[in-house]
Amino acid sequence: MFRKKVIAGNWKMNKTATEAVTLAKDIIDEVGRETSVDIVLCPPFTALSAVAHVLEGQAVKLGGQNMHPAKNGAYTGEISAEMLRTLYATHVILGHSERRTYFCETDAFINQKVVTALAHELKPILCVGETLAEREAGATLAVVQRHVEGGLSGVKPEQITTVIIAYEPVWAIGTGEVATPEDAQEVCGAIRGRVLETFGADVAAAVRILYGGSVKSSNVASIMAKPDVDGALIGGASLDPDEFVGIVRFRLHPPELVS
């Protein structure tokens, strides 16, 4: 089945609103109307509104980096699905390893967010992935399956294809150490296999699974060439417009020409 590739940029806690506008403009000048790939920009909350204006009329989509599962209430510092929606966000990153590590987010809590996001017609980008210690202990697939099952618990089969799953080995995030295309394929393939067991073949064939972790324009093509990798979640390289645009145009860098 054809699955449109997704390239999502996670700007993390970088860029003031003014700087974010400049970055978004630099990106849309090059690929603003690109429709062969789904492009999602995820600025910090404080820049969502400003970037939403820049993206008006463009094909590029807007995403949040996190949200709280509650509708509203006494959750100081948090923002809701509805708040994201009213800023024209269509996507939201959930369960990023930095949230799991620094803010102690559990699979159960992340699952609540996934369910809430879907109820508000936000597409969750659910991040899963093992730490270096877990990989060295041979627990990669078990950890990733636990994150996938925990994150998707209670989600209806017809909603699963709205979820984008991002395999992000923690040891590859921001380290410059990228997983080999074979490692990325092994884990993304295993994730699709688990989706197949739980939700059936049609859902598994349609759900999009990304790789994230030190992706750059120089290594993206070989990873994207793998059959179960449907795109990439980009951290550091998404802050450099030339790099990000180079990643979006990954088809211009055939894998065999990548060193």
User: Judged by CB under 6 A, does residue 174 bind ligand PEP?
Assistant: yes
CA distance 198 to 203: 9
User: Judged by CB under 6 A, does residue 231 bind ligand PEP?
Assistant: no
Report the residue number, 115 or 127, with the smaller CB distance to ligand PEP.
Answer: 127
CA distance 166 to 189: 12
User: Judged by CB under 6 A, does residue 246 bind ligand PEP?
Assistant: no
Among positions 5, 10, 69, 241, the unique one binding ligand PEP when judged by CB under 6 A: 10
Among positions 165, 233, 247, 248, the unique one binding ligand PEP when judged by CB under 6 A: 233
Token duo for residue 198: 């739980």
φ, ψ for residue 195 (rounded to 5)? -60, -40
Could you give the 3-state DSSP secondary structure of residue 227?
coil
Shortest CA distance to 225 belongs to which of 190, 193, 185, 191? 185
98 flagged as catalytic: no
Token duo for residue 5: 């590739």
User: Judged by CB under 6 A, does residue 43 bind ligand PEP?
Assistant: no
Shortest CA distance to 248 belongs to which of 103, 21, 38? 38
CA distance 188 to 207: 11
Report the residue number, 10 or 116, with the smaller CB distance to ligand PEP.
Answer: 10
User: Judged by CB under 6 A, does residue 66 bind ligand PEP?
Assistant: no
User: Within 13 A of 248's CA, how many CA atoms are on the CB side?
Assistant: 25
Nearest-approach distance from CB 12 to ligand PEP, in angstroms: 6
Among positions 65, 140, 161, 214, the unique one binding ligand PEP when judged by CB under 6 A: 214
Stretch that binds ligand PEP, among 56-64, 104-112, 115-123, 209-217 (CB under 6 A): 209-217
User: Judged by CB under 6 A, does residue 224 bind ligand PEP?
Assistant: no
96 flagged as catalytic: yes
CA distance 137 to 139: 5
Report the residue number, 12 or 199, with the smaller CB distance to ligand PEP.
Answer: 12
Stretch that binds ligand PEP, among 44-52, 130-138, 155-163, 211-219 (CB under 6 A): 211-219
Stretch that binds ligand PEP, among 38-46, 102-110, 136-144, 232-240 (CB under 6 A): 232-240
Shortest CA distance to 215 belongs to which of 189, 247, 186? 247
User: Judged by CB under 6 A, does residue 219 bind ligand PEP?
Assistant: no
Report the residue number, 68 or 100, with the smaller CB distance to ligand PEP.
Answer: 100
* Through-space distance between the first and last CA atoms of the chain, rounded to whole angstroms: 29
Report the residue number, 70 or 216, with the smaller CB distance to ligand PEP.
Answer: 216
CA distances from 127 to 14, 194, 228 (A): 20, 15, 16
User: Judged by CB under 6 A, does residue 223 bind ligand PEP?
Assistant: no
Residue 189 burial (CB count, 10 A): 15
Note the residues at the interface with ligand PEP (CB under 6 A).
10, 168, 173-174, 212-215, 233-237
Catalytic center residues: 96, 168
